[in-house]
Structures are given as C-alpha cells and as structure tokens.
Amino acid sequence: MAKVGMREWIAAGRAIAAGDLLRYGSHSNFTNRFEQRLSALVGAKHALTVNGGTSALICALAAAGIGPGDEVLVPAYTWMATAAAPVAVGAVPILVDIDESLTLDPSDLESKITPYTRAIIPVHMLNLPCDMDAIMAIAKKHNLLVIEDACQAVGVKYKDRYCGAIGDAGAFSFNKYKNINIGEGGALVTSDDRLFARARNYHDLGSLVRDQEATFNEPAFVGVNMRATEIEGAMLNVQLSKLQPMLNRWRKRRAIMADTLSRSKAFKVSPHNDPKNAVSLTIIFDNESDAEAFAQKHGLIRVFDTSKHIYTNWEPILCQRTFHSKMNPWDWAKRPIEYHEDMCAKTLDILKRSCRVNLAARYPTFAACIKAERMVA
C-alpha cells in the first residue's frame, strides 16, 4: 500500500483553507485537477472521482446500461465487491475460474457466456494484469462490454497500456490497501463520452445543474450520491505524484526476486501476463501442503487464506440474499442461477497452491535480494 504522510496533511489543509470542500464550489479545483492528471496518465478521455472502488464499479455498470435480466462474468477470486456490483444494478454475477496467473481464465470465460451475458469484469488482482488481449477478443466476438476492475492495480501496465483504460470503462480504488491511498475513495475512467455522461449523472443523484460541464445530450435520470470532496481530491494529487516512483521500485525488486526464485526446483514463479511490466510476484507449488508449509516458514501469504477474496466466502452471493426480497436480481434472471462451493474447483486448487511474495518495498533493495536467496536456500 502507499504511505500517507506530511504532504497529504498539507494538501488537505490547503483544501480546507480554500473554503469550498464541495468539488463544485466556486474556488474548487483539486478534484478536477486530479481527474485531468489521472485520465492523462492512463490514456483515457475521462475520469470521474467517486467515494470508493465499489462505487466506481456500480457506477460504470449503471452507466453502461447493465440491469435486470443481464448476466455479468466475474472471476471466482476477487474482493466480493466485484460480484456485488452487478447485484446493485439488478444483474447477476456468473463466476469464472482463474488460471495460474491468478486472473480470469479466458477459456473458462468463453464457456460461461450465454445469450443473457452483457458484460465481463476482468480483475487485475494483486497488481497482476489479466490477459486483456484474449479477453478483449472474446468480448468483441460476443459483443460484450468490458468493465475492468483495476482497484488493486492503479498505475499498472499491461503491454504498455494501463489497466483500467483498455476496456469500455475501468474502476480504481484508493482505500488504505491500494497503490493510491487516501483511506477510502475511487475513480471511474472511460473514453466513451456517453458512458461518462451517464456515470456523472448516476454518481450525482441525476443532477445536471453543473453547467460548466457538457452533458453530451444525455437526459437526466435518477441516480445516487457517490461524490468526492475537495479534501479527497487534494490528497489524491499528492498520492498520484508518488505512484510511478513507487511502482518503478516494485518493478525492479520484482525482477531481482523473480530471477533468484526461478532457480528453485521446489516451486515455480507463477505465470504473468506481462513480465516486463510486472510489479507483483507470486509462486506456485505442485501441492497445497508444500505451499502451506513454505508460507509458514517464510512468513508469506498463501493466497487461499484471504477471506472474502474467494467466492466460497461470499455468503450473500452464494445465498442470493439482498436487503429486500422484491429487490432480488436472481428472481429477475432469465434462467435459474445456482452457486455451490465447489463450482470453481480449479480456482480453489490454484489458490491453495499459490503464495504471494512480499517485495519488501519499504526496505533497501539488498534486503529483498537477501530474502529471496534465503527462500531458495
């Protein structure tokens, strides 16, 4: 995660001193500036700051017109918000296996497509980019929308394109565990004018009174309140300036550690969809008992032991339970949808055999080298 310090504290103070904490105030510019910088960085035409990564996913789906009767393909390994976001707009999530890269398996993805599938949400978990070439080809073949969940991959590249700006829209998170950290927050990026106009409408209760912004001839519709404040915008500008230097450090450490760990015969470095730009590292074993023992010995995180990031722990999804029985999207589905705990057995097997390697990002580079050497000793 990114560190928060004195620079963020000063930036927040400047926003307070400006006197307009609402982003649409007469003297407000912090949030606008962040959106301009973020969209320029990732290569998207538009960026919209919202109050969380989950909100960014929901906002993108709503803006894309996803709703009752629609099916959305999501990976079986992700934070539960990825599966919950379709439910929030009246659609149902369909679970897809991952491959050893810990991201969507394109072959299983295509097998899960039905006449009711409308969108794919590929998730770049743990800063690991999906095989976006394959996913975009499948989406084009079947005329599906792609909403990237890049909440855990802010600033990460896939073949010289930025995660989040490859599909129709992308969602970022800025909570305390992410590459950009202001405690909570998020953003949506897109190059589609209509999708952006609808997203801005949805995130601001259907209000089109912000006459300084183009509406792209989209009529207003009822939305919700997902707005960000100027304090958030001010802190985000500081964090954005820290992002690329931090990722560059991770990229160098990952290359060093991957080279060292690749010499071991006890495990293998997990496949990566873009090794040149890799900023995250996982290893995979032949069996789960070896992975579990190795993780305990070296203080690593076995990926299976990560709570609601695994579909078997998504109780509200598996039980198809919503806040009101008459607002249950599974009742509106065009076919029976069933979930069971072993429906994505391949995913569970891979997660039980995989460990995440800490790149020791807050320590000198030599410390990362020593750690890697000890792991293969």
The continuous run of DSSP H or E covering 283 comes out as: strand 282-284
Provide, rounded to the nearest whole percent, the portion of the chain with pLDDT above 70.
94
Going by C-beta distance under 8 Å and a sequence separation of 6 or more, which residues neighbour residue 3? Answer: 181, 242, 362
Interatomic CA distance for residues 181 and 185, integer angstroms: 8
CATH class, domain 243-308+344-376, is alpha beta
Query: Among 2-16, 231-245, 334-348, which stretch is predicted with the lowest mean pLDDT?
Result: 2-16
pLDDT at 209 over 80: no
Q: What is the pLDDT confidence band of residue 327, given thresholds at 50, 70 and 90?
A: very high
pLDDT at 24: 84
Reported as a single tens digit per residue, the pLDDT across 250-301 is 999 999 999 999 998 899 999 999 999 999 999 999 999 999 999 998 888 8
Q: What is the pLDDT confidence band of residue 28, given thresholds at 50, 70 and 90?
A: confident
pLDDT at 144: 98
pLDDT at 191 over 80: yes
Averaged pLDDT, 50-62: 98
The continuous run of DSSP H or E covering 149 comes out as: strand 145-149
Tell me the domain boundaries of the chain: 6-240, 243-308+344-376
Question: Which of 3.10.20.30, 3.40.640.10, 3.40.50.720, 3.40.50.150 is the CATH number of 6-240?
Answer: 3.40.640.10
Which of 203, 250, 221 shows the shortest CA–CA distance to 24? 203
pLDDT at 307: 78
Whole-number average pLDDT of the chain: 93
In degrees, to the nearest 5, what angle opens at C-alpha 119 toward C-alphas 114 and 122? 110
At residue 121, φ and ψ (nearest 5 deg) are: -115, 90
pLDDT at 70: 98
pLDDT at 365: 65
pLDDT at 361: 61
pLDDT at 27: 72
CB half-sphere exposure, 360, CA atoms < 13 A: 17
pLDDT at 25 over 90: no
Q: Is the pTM of this model over 0.85?
A: yes
pLDDT at 128 over 60: yes
Greater model confidence, 124 or 219: 124
Interatomic CA distance for residues 207 and 220, integer angstroms: 7
Reported as a single tens digit per residue, the pLDDT across 67-116 is 999 999 999 999 999 999 999 999 999 999 999 999 999 999 999 999 99
Distances from the Cα of 224 to the Cα of 28, 84, 198, 212, 323, angstroms: 22, 17, 12, 20, 17
pLDDT at 216: 79
